[in-house]
Amino acid sequence: MSLARKVAILICAAGPLLAAPALTTIQDTIYKADGNKFNGTALISWLPFDASDSSKIGLQSLTVSIVNGNFHVQLVPNSNVTPAGYYTVQYQSGGRAQFTETWSVNPSATTLRIKDVRVTNESSPSGSGSGSGGGVASPPGNSPVPESQVTGLLTDLSLRPMKGSDYGNGRAAMVDSGGALNTVDGNLTDCVRVDGTSTACFDPAVIPAYVDGETPAGTVDGTNATFTLAGTPNPTTSLRVYRNGLLLQAGTDYNIQGNGSILFVSGATPQLGDVLTASYRTSGGSSASLSGQIVASGLATGAAQVICSNTGSSAASVTMASLGSCVIPADTLNPGDRVDVRFTFAHSGSASGFVFQILWGATTLVQRTASQLDASVAGVAGASIGAGAVTLDSQTWGSVLPLAAVVSQSTDPLSAPLKIDFQAQLNTAGTDSVQLQNYTVLRYSAQ
């Protein structure tokens, strides 16, 4: 055999070994949702795999231009490769990624469309990939994906809190200075501070106590100015002293002594018939030694709660105007409660009389007409809360206005906010005015 013939035989035998792997053509027209044709690029990327003819396909990517919707590319089939893999196709337009698809390309001698290679969640028939459809593949359920191949996974995992060396189950957790989760060290009965350290919880015996409605010891006769509390206010600024339900001012009406005594200043000495009550905090300890009502919250039984206390505005017209008001929140009052309303109107001028009234919701609690000689008028009104009704009562008087008393009923619901409105008007237009000098609304609870 001649040398030329031997060379020809070797070339023919080596030809198939040097041939490129078979390619499948994917060609389609891509539209946008508005019907216009898509313009942009498709970035196709893949992981290394061995083709069905044992060709080695390395890690790489391919950018395909899409002009006026026209798409054309040729790819090595990967529906039957080892290891199982897919093409990732990212469509870009206008400098931004628009959407991403996963492709599984079957071997095919005929041209395929994108719908033939796009991976869906539905199962698709297997086959040799004739190109007549049915080339859509489902991701294999038995092929593990390395963490390093999941985009962003390792970065996200690095941001999560990590267990520290002192982490343990069944205990309170804390975040240490390095961001790791550790367990708070301490006894099961300890309390945890916000910095993660533990300490013994408060002893109930030393929790600050709250005293409400205590009657200070001392004779109320108009002469005695010193009254003693059962406990020592701590801090002293927590002390609130009330005379006949009105809040007194520390330093103006009285001074608190170091031993818990109240010393009234000259001119503010409680008079015969006055009722004194005090509320304050103590440094803690047993509450049995305190004669007042000690409560954690809310209103102690028998103590007066000041709902509203303020000065009002003035009126100089012949039209009824609101000079002040107090709103009792819904569902505040209960059967057995009583509400006391105390008020004073001041009249400036002597040319006109005036009318003053107080409304309990939509019900008239007080309404009287004062003369031009009444420099001031005052009154006490109240509401007794019953199981099915509210009874209203009032007493009013003035500089010359005689004392008058009235009892009535109210049907205003207590399940809604209830407004107590203080109103007044002049009888004759002029230079006179009426001012709501003061009003106070007290609640006495039966609960």
Cβ neighbours around 62 below 10 Å, total: 14
112 pLDDT higher than 50: yes
In this predicted model, which residue has the larger pLDDT, 282 or 320? Answer: 320
What's the pLDDT band for 113 if we cut at 50, 70, 90?
very high
What is the 3-class SS of 117-185, one letter each residue? HECCCCCCCCCCCCCCCCCCCCCCCCCCCCHHHCCCHHHHHHHCCCECCCCCCCCCEEECCCCCEEECC
CATH class, 18-148 region: mainly beta
209 pLDDT higher than 80: no
Radius of gyration of the chain (CA): 45
165 pLDDT higher than 50: yes
Least confident of 118-122, 206-210, 285-289, 377-381: 285-289
pTM, rounded to two decimals: 0.38
**Predicted local confidence at residue 353, as pLDDT:** 95
**How far are the Cα atoms of 260, 394, 419 from residue 336, in angstroms, in the given order?**
33, 18, 20
CATH number at 306-444: 2.60.120.200
In this predicted model, which residue has the larger pLDDT, 333 or 208? Answer: 333
Angle value at C-alpha 224, between 219 and 226, nearest 5 degrees: 90
Q: What is the pLDDT of residues 395-422, one digit of tens each?
A: 999 999 999 999 999 999 998 999 999 9
Determine the average pLDDT of the residues in 330-354. Answer: 92
Q: What is the pLDDT of residues 44-81, one digit of tens each?
A: 999 998 888 888 888 889 999 999 999 999 999 998 88
Cβ neighbours around 445 below 10 Å, total: 19
- Would you give the end-to-end CA distance of the chain in angstroms? 123
Percentage of residues of the chain with pLDDT beyond 70: 83
Mean pLDDT in the chain?
A: 82
What's the pLDDT band for 5 if we cut at 50, 70, 90?
low
292 pLDDT higher than 50: no
Extents of the domains making up the chain: 18-148, 162-201, 210-300, 306-444
Cβ neighbours around 126 below 10 Å, total: 11
Structure tokens at 128: 């040799």
Beta bridge partners of 31: 37
